[in-house]
Structure 1
Amino acid sequence: MKYLLFNIIFASCFIQMVYSQNVPSWKEGYLDIHHINTGRGNATFIVFPDGTTMLIDAGDNNRIDERSVEPKPNNEITVAECIVDYIKYFMPQKHKNNIDYCLITHFHSDHLGAVFKNKVSEGDYYLTGITEVHHLLPILSLVDRGYQYMCPDEANRTFSNYKKFVNYVTSYDSVKRESFNVGSSRQFALKYLFDKYNTIFKVQNIYANGQLWISNRHEKCSLFPEIKTLAKDNMLRENMLSCVLKLRYGNFSYYTGGDIPGYPGIGKATWHDVESLVAQEVGHVEVAVLNHHGYEDTTNENFVSILSPQVFIAHTWNAAHLNHSVLNRMLSKSLYSYDRDIYVTNVHLAAKIVTGNLINRLKSMQGHIMVRVEKGGDRYWVFVLDDSIFGSYNLLLKSGPYECKCRE
């Protein structure tokens, strides 16, 4: 009996020890990619191998209903406070005063922020999502898809608030704001050790606003007809204009593409499928973030088979996210033969019911998701971190190492 009691106590202590571990700090040569879970939208924080930092989106959709998951870690702190606390915890010590780059993939609240409670009188805008992140941790360079193509009008409160913020901080906070430059591999460049890592690391701008970079021709091509020729019921949607990136580090590669769709809506033209043509240019990647949170209009067979990642990651916060058919396609060995793991930030109870036993094939269903690529880019790990306690990011799961399957 005493041996049984000893074994129980030992096992309990071991589990507590494992689940209270922290991820070792970033060090030069690591590429760290953090998918921060707030339950309210997308936020991805990246530390380049030389310590350059980048934030992709900082959404706060303010959705509190039965279709949405609970805020993480709770509703007592703002989304921006959660994002900034996480970033400060994991960013390089000597670069804690600011974020080098921020990319807003498109102008929707779950990527931008739309909580209109706390107004800044000097700039006449509200602190929400990305605007509050900047107040808590200044951003040096802000990039968005630009204002020249199919922008929301001023009646759109989310976009109007963002524009007021941009106007103020570029005038008074010395923030540099640029439009996303399709085809560029220098817009998000290494800032600190460029010569040391430039030959093996780059962030390639692939697509935005209907413009796709064709690398073998060194030119952009347009995917859409002229706007003036389109009927109202066949008009472009904001998601279709999202900014798409491919990040490379040695043999490692990573895809993220905002909310671009892969299936035209009912009665829509075939060019509403943005994923398929983008996938042809992106090619194989090791890690792919699902477009549009794994919603039903994304992750088509072309996208899955061409990118053929070992790891899928999804920012999910709604009952409709991680659609059953999407999950089937991701898991299909008919599209590519080798194993793949799927990590998501949340799974709504309704999604669990609809997907049934398929949901049990996910590698992880809850938490912040971090990818760490070792120096040189040949191997990487995936860590799942606890999202339930503010300021505490205990390690829940460590997977890897994954060996890169370089196919280019």
Structure 2
Amino acid sequence: MLVAGGLAACGADAKLVDGKGEEPPPESAAQLTVSPETGTEEAPVSTEIGVEVEAGEVTEVVLQPEGGEPVEGELRPDGTSWVPSSPLEYETTYTAAVTAVDADEIPVTTETTFTTMASPGNQMFASIWNGSEYEYGQATPIMLDFPREFSVPEEERANVERRLFVKSDPPQPGAWHWFSGNHLEYRPQEYWQPGTVIEVRAAIGGMPLGGGVYGEADITQTVHISGTARSVEVSNETKQMVAMENGEVVKTMPISLGKDSSPSYSGTMIVMEKLAETVFDTTNEPGCNGEEDGEDCYITDIQWAQRLTWSGQFIHSAPWSVGDQGVRNVSHGCVNASPADSEWIFNFTRVGDPVIVTGTGVELPYGDGFTAYDLSWEEFLEGSYLEPPDTTQTDDD
């Protein structure tokens, strides 16, 4: 009787859950899977926290080493993984707790614990060509190089590309192009907008690069694009060089291009380096036998030289051909201009400015210089191992 009375006193609608008068929390509809799997050992220090979620979205990722502080990082834009902001520590155990919520904001959390590998013996350093101390022209590609003796295997190139992060302000989607297994260039669809600031992170520290080789360290760089858009147009038809600024003609100058036996290339080239004084020495080229002999084997002091190709085409001062400039082609492939005009254009341009040469009948060879913009956007994308970027977005999206 005492027991029955006790039950009646609870009320007809009362519920008893686990011995407590409380409802269990509702289950989230979100289904969450994370990687690497719990218990994974020998994980690279470039490991990302993979995320697969159904009927929900990820709201938080906390990655923490045993006894240490949480690691900084962020989700990829496509939400497929969470990327640490720097390489993890070698021989360290980490726990990742990933939280997602469903449409009703009900959370679910999944954890995984893994241990990273020991520091590998075969590590490879890479470098970003662009520096932060210089304002580049609008056609500057971001360039990443591995040592010449190393080539990233084709089956690893998509993985490498996914670890190369480029953010620009204002936003301009772009892509990477592999000119070889050790040289990549990145560009947007059109030239960089004036004043663009580009943040680059090659997150390859501890990353497997193929063939038992690992990246030595992450590389970061900030690249600045000039606030003024400048370009140079060179016409074989008119024998004139035109300096453009923000789409307007600034100065027109007579020039001489390459003669028939050594024609200039046509294409979109980029100012690669600027040398106020240098020496052109062709005596080591085939047929010269290390000696000055005739007009094609020479050692000559040159002023106001701007390199356009690796093979040796420049804009430069040529006082010996002033009488030919604007009339006929007499150079060995370079753009010859008067001393005064060469100095003027030297001071006008920056490394990274485009130089568009037309009408010579000989196309610029692939990869002879910074040739990213000599390719159409479609051709450029063919050199990437990832899906093309979405170039339809605007700053208001």
TM more than 0.5 = no
Q: Which has the larger radius of gyration?
A: 2
| Normalised-by-shorter TM-score class | under 0.3
Normalized per residue, which structure has more helix? 1
Q: TM-score normalised to the size of structure 2? A: 0.24
Normalized per residue, which structure has more strand? 2
